[in-house]
Amino acid sequence: MKDFLNNIWTMIQNLFSPENIESIKNFLMSFTLKEYMVILVIYLILLWIGLVAFVFKDITNRTNNIFIQIVSLFLVTFCTPLWFPLYFIIRPWKTLLEQYYTEDDIEEVDEITGEIKDLYCEKCWQHLSAAHLYCPHCWTNQEKPCLKCKNQIRTDWDICPFCWVDQEKYAELLAKAEALKEKVEEVKVEEKVETKVESEEEVKEETK
């Protein structure tokens, strides 16, 4: 370890030796003021394009409101860099996915009556909060893997927010597929039995 640190220190000393510093100074002095201005302009253009791309990706992940998206992109595009710091203030604080899991699920509201739904554990039927991942009474997991994409979702959710598959309908499809698979296996077994019986009968006839 000591040798390694000594080697690092030697490299640093060599890097900042008077000869290297003089070479760097001569290299920088070889550029004219006009060339420095061109480099600066290119840097600012690349920085501007990067900011616009960042805002586009960020705002589309935070809101589906087309007006807000267009206004944010317009202001960042034509008012950079003055508008960019303000963008972090006026943009929605949470992404669409975060809003789905927090704001929409802290209290589950009935769409028809507008009343807050009561959540209960499917095992012990004790009252739960929407934020509970486990039942505090019987310690039952309140999440389940999606039947299609296998992401963890709440047991009382009918549709997976990741792949938008209806869990009940997909379960029916899986059950039908499993039943069809069993029928195919039964047919294969029956065919094998019939083939075996036919071969045995042929052997008996040949022996006669």
Rounded Cα gap, residues 135 and 124, in angstroms: 9
Rounded Cα gap, residues 80 and 76, in angstroms: 5
Crossing angle of helices 83-90 and 33-60, in 10° steps, is 10
Which of 77, 96, 115 is a domain's end point?
96
Same domain, 81 and 7: yes
> What pLDDT is stored for residue 143 in this prediction?
83
- Which residue type sits at 97? L
Same domain, 19 and 87: yes
Which of 96, 122, 141 is a domain's end point?
96
Same domain, 43 and 129: no
Which of 75, 96, 117 is a domain's end point?
96
Q: Which domain holds residue 143?
A: 105-165
> What pLDDT is stored for residue 75 in this prediction?
81
> What pLDDT is stored for residue 148 in this prediction?
87
Same domain, 8 and 29: yes
* HEC sequence for 99-127: HHHCCCCCCCECCCCCCECCEECCCCCCE
Same domain, 91 and 143: no
The two three-digit tokens of residue 175, written as one number: 């059950």
Q: What is the pLDDT along the chain (208 residues), one digit of tens a residue?
A: 667 777 777 777 777 777 777 777 777 788 788 888 998 999 888 988 888 888 888 888 888 888 888 888 888 888 766 677 777 777 887 777 666 555 444 445 444 444 545 677 778 877 776 666 778 778 788 788 888 888 888 887 888 888 888 888 888 988 888 888 888 888 787 777 677 666 666 666 666 5
pTM, 2 dp: 0.39
The two three-digit tokens of residue 119, written as one number: 């959540």
Contact 77, 52 (CB under 8 A): yes
Same domain, 121 and 51: no
> What pLDDT is stored for residue 42 in this prediction?
93
Rounded Cα gap, residues 101 and 107, in angstroms: 10
Same domain, 92 and 28: yes
**In degrees, to the nearest 5, what angle opens at C-alpha 178 toward C-alphas 175 and 183?**
125
Same domain, 24 and 81: yes
Q: Looking at the chain, how many residues does it have? A: 208
Contact 47, 76 (CB under 8 A): no
User: Structural domain tally of the chain?
Assistant: 3
Same domain, 128 and 146: yes
**Nearest Cα to Cα of residue 90 among 71, 117, 110:** 71
Rounded Cα gap, residues 92 and 61, in angstroms: 10
Same domain, 76 and 150: no
Contact 160, 151 (CB under 8 A): yes
> What pLDDT is stored for residue 24 in this prediction?
72
Same domain, 16 and 82: yes
> What pLDDT is stored for residue 135 in this prediction?
80
- How far is C-alpha 201 from the chain's CA centre? 62
Same domain, 6 and 90: yes
